[in-house]
Amino acid sequence: MDISRKTDYALRMLAMLADGENNLLSVRAAAEQVDVPYSFARSIQHGLVQAGIVESLRGVHGGMRLKADPNDVTIRQIVEAVQGPMVMNDCTANGAECSRMNSCCYHSVWMGAQALMVDYLDSVTLADVVQGTLAPVVDAKFANRESFAEYVSCAEKCRRLA
């Protein structure tokens, strides 16, 4: 799992929107503040509009503003809006096909790591980060070895293979 530069810039732009007194931010101003080319900032804006996180307003006094409440937008939603579904490994992608998936002793490890990361990033909202109230919560099942099969569907099969 790699957080791309594009996602990093999107998070910075969203922080400016969530923290700003003026709810409207021109893409050009955002590009300048984040230090990215305007065309790149526009492509970031497009992904965030498609995900329903921001809305775009045209005209001389146009720009973008948050469409979703920052308290309801998770960091995972932002990451996935910009760079697609979060996957730890090719074999953990939705609908993945791997010839070794049924015999690989590491598949369940990658599935567990992905489940943990999704849970963690879903526990942090844009508002948490911008307001400095960051207090991520991860389900206690991740600390309990006996709960592994609850969040990794192939866990039992992988134990038998080991």
Q: Please report, in tens digits, the pLDDT of each residue of the chain (162 residues total).
A: 788 999 999 999 999 999 866 678 889 999 999 899 999 999 999 999 999 999 998 877 778 999 999 999 999 999 999 999 988 887 778 777 777 767 777 878 888 888 899 999 999 999 999 988 877 788 888 888 888 877 776 655 555 544
Contact 86, 79 (CB under 8 A): yes
Determine contact, residues 106/100, Cβ cutoff 8 Å.
no
- Secondary structure of residue 64 in the 3-state scheme: strand
d(CA 104, CA 40): 40
**Which of these, 118, 111, 117, 114, lies nearest to 149 by C-alpha position?**
111
pLDDT at 60: 75
Residue ranges per structural domain of the chain = 1-84, 85-162
Measured distance CA(108)–CA(95) in Å, rounded = 15
What does CATH list as the number for 1-84?
1.10.10.10
Q: What was the pLDDT predicted at 147?
A: 82
Q: Which 8-state DSSP code applies to residue 55?
A: E
Residue 98: the pLDDT is 75
